[in-house]
Structure 1
């Protein structure tokens, strides 16, 4: 059942407003007429008001939730279950109230006569433009169950890819956080207590120890202002980051970085190839497929190059030649697209390109983490070693004076 907000007139012409639960807008109007009311407007109530769960119902679908929804729908439709019953069944199996509520809203739109693609399009945060486009092609061709299965495979692959990237970077980030915490603790708490003993004796301290004391005093007395300054810088950085022109220049610059640039290129090329493959294979026209694939690419420079290629394709150019003009995309991708255009197997060869770039991404991730982990350990060990050395040097000088 879905919550609807209505406006209606009673027998005396007075306007009434309220909410009710129904399976579809049509059923909601029928229920109002049975009460002796003439409906003026019936619309789906907002998610927050309908569920009372606020922020948590608005949280977008996770990758796992999206895969599960698509897979269940594909199985049910493939087994001959009507679409509205399939949606109701999947909603009943949902673990989270927000997921259940949105699926029931999709079902209500379908029961009211809307195509599934149009119903999914009302939730762009949960189902990006790729999903409604491919579902529309599946509905048109009568292969909706097959399309949903392909979409489930695609969503699972993208979720797996994102998980690999996050998993590979998690350890270095945690290590960096631990190292920073240890250094700040030593500088702000341990160092003042130990080194202060030597300073009170008016002992001439080594330069390294004096630098350490200076930094420690700065952290203790000005640390809060330093954090405030970092907060202001972070706010300014976020504000600047929202400017498209700056983001575009930054993303173009990132592509030129050693190792990291190749990593970003492999990640977005895999997303581009796999998205194009599923759209073209599902019968979506090439221009629409390119538009959808551009939304799957994160790097702004690559996305702009893809949109420029779309215009060249619209003017009659081949896809491989249109992409080649930017000189940003891997040569292997160009060659496979050329072969696909010649043989009429573009979706198959795009799938091969996505698989190849996925393997390249894994190899580069492994190389990056292999280099990062020992480098971070060396930096952390070096900083702690310098702090310990700065503490020990006055002790060694004192021992020499005693001898």
Structure 2
């Protein structure tokens, strides 16, 4: 006996087997690459004559990032109700950076939204490339370091106790290196769980507090003073400052507003406070280069090039040249650091693990020599 369907309807997304399981704090966010692709596509469609509403509809349908797709659908609905694009995206400050919102607002006011979107795309593409360069260069050293730590923990927790039982049956006094290794193994047995809990607790605390002013005021200056890595961090923030400032000026954003926004998106508390002081001086009628030269975080070359740009009326172009220069500096410095760190880490791994193995076999060597 067969059965026949009496009603057929489309299954709604998010029900039954299609339900998406979302764990708080682990949802896929909107990254720079997603925003760069979206802005590039929007610029192309707007410059081709498509209406903003039609462009948003296409973007919402074609975007692969589910979160961005959902946001763009809501932005499109707001625009359809008469809300400006800048006000619509401003409702999502976590996903759309201030620099993007204000460049869109400037593009709307000046009637060059397609050009503003193009500048946003170029800016985010360069920022994404910068981050990818640093991330790819640091991946191998981090993997080697983690492997070293795992190897040490495994030896202390599992291998050393086995050798200790064997040594206790032999009797006699253990060599000092072996004795130290045994004590470390005992300590790891008791301290290890506490240390693991502390690391997990700190990870959650850091995730919740890393963007607070109190934490940034302590951590960000340290980043700029670190041996070796301090100069790299300084070059990164200067490249970001120059590129963002150039793009905002090119989009028609007023200088004071641009300085404030560039400081907010600099990802460094020291630079943010420095640009706030520069903006205050500019508000009083001073040039940009003068107050900039008084801030130690900016090299003299930067303030001099800004001064030339102000005098020649080509500040946007000069800032772009500064950004290109420091982007290249970041790339070359990262490559140099990688070539230096990799052999050092490998040597460190060899010394630590090799030293532990030698310490474990010292009693055996001692007994063998006594037998002979």
Q: Normalising by the residue count of structure 2, what TM-score does the alignment of the two structures yield?
A: 0.89
In 2: Cα distance, 1:303 partner to 1:151 partner = 21
The separation in 2 between residues aligned to 1:81 and 1:239, in whole angstroms, is 42
- 1:277 partnered with 2:246: yes
3-state SS of paired residue (1:298): coil
The partner residue of 1:313 within 282, 299, 323 is 282
User: Which gives a bigger RCO, structure 1 or 2 (Cα 8 Å, sep 6+)?
Assistant: 2
Q: State the alpha-carbon separation in 2 of the partners of residues 336 and 157 from structure 1.
A: 21
Question: What is the aligned partner in structure 2 of residue 158 from structure 1?
Answer: 127
SS in structure 2 at match of 1:255: helix
Provide the residue aligned with 1:347 in structure 2: 316
Q: CA deviation at 1:258?
A: 2.7
Q: What is residue 87 of structure 1 aligned with on the other side?
A: 56
Structure 2 CA distance for aligned equivalents of residues 258 and 58 of structure 1: 35
Instruction: Assess if the C-alpha contact under 8 Å between 2:98 and 2:265 holds in 1.
Output: no
Greater radius of gyration (CA): 1
2:355 is the alignment partner of 1:386:
yes
TM-fit CA distance, 1:286: 0.5
Offset at residue 203 of structure 1 (A):
2.1
SS in 1 for 2:225: coil
Report the Cα distance in structure 1 between the residues aligned to 2:91 and 2:51, rounded to whole angstroms: 21
CA–CA separation in structure 1 for the residues paired with 2:200 and 2:55: 49
**2:94 is paired with a residue of what secondary structure?**
coil
Query: SS at the partner of 2:96?
Result: coil
Which residue of structure 2 aligns with residue 129 of structure 1? 98
| Shift in CA distance, 234/127, structure 1 to aligned 2, threshold 3 Å | closer
Moved more, 220-229 or 70-79: 220-229
Is 1:103 the counterpart of 2:54 in the alignment? Answer: no
Distance 1:238 1:117, change over 3 A: closer
Q: Provide structure 2 residue ranges, at least 5 long, that are not aligned to the other structure.
A: 1-13
Q: Does the 8 Å CA contact 1:60/1:125 hold for their aligned counterparts?
A: no
C-alpha change, 1:292 and 1:217, in structure 2 (3 Å) is: same
Residue range with higher mean Cα deviation, 376-385 or 231-240? 231-240
**Deviation by residue 1:96-153 (Cα, 9 ceiling, x = unmatched):** 3322221111111111112111111111122111112111111122111111111111
1:67 aligns with 2:36: yes
Taking a change above 3 Å as real, the CA distance of residues 395 and 58 of structure 1, as seen in their structure-2 partners, is closer
Q: CA RMSD in A?
A: 2.3
Q: Deviations over 1:303-354 (max 9, x none)?
A: 1111111111111111111111122102221121111100000001100000
Q: CA deviation at 1:226?
A: 3.2
Alignment partner, residue 206 of structure 1: 175
- 1-structure distance, mates of 2:69, 2:172: 71
1:242, distance to aligned residue in structure 2 (A): 5.9
Alignment deviations for residues 200-256 of structure 1 (CA, whole Å, 9 cap, x no partner): 221221011111111112223442233234445556666775652453133223322
Deviation at 1:168, TM superposition (A): 1.4
**CA separation of 1:297 and 1:195: change in aligned 2, threshold 3 A:** same
Farther off after superposition, 54-63 or 300-309: 54-63
Q: Is the 8 A contact 1:259 1:364 kept in 2?
A: no
- In 1: Cα distance, 2:217 partner to 2:371 partner: 65
- Partners of 2:52 and 2:208 lie apart in 1 by 44
1:386 and 1:149 map into 2 onto residues whose CA distance is 57
Q: What are the within-5 Å matches in structure 2 for residues 128-277 of structure 1?
A: 128-232=97-201, 244-277=213-246
Greater alpha carbon shift after TM alignment, 73-82 vs 122-131: 122-131
Matches within 5 A, 1:43-58: 55=22
C-alpha contact 2:260 2:276 (8 A) present in aligned 1: yes
Cα separation, partners in 2 of 1:243 and 1:110, compared to 1, 3 Å: closer
> In the alignment, does 2:297 pair up with 1:299?
no
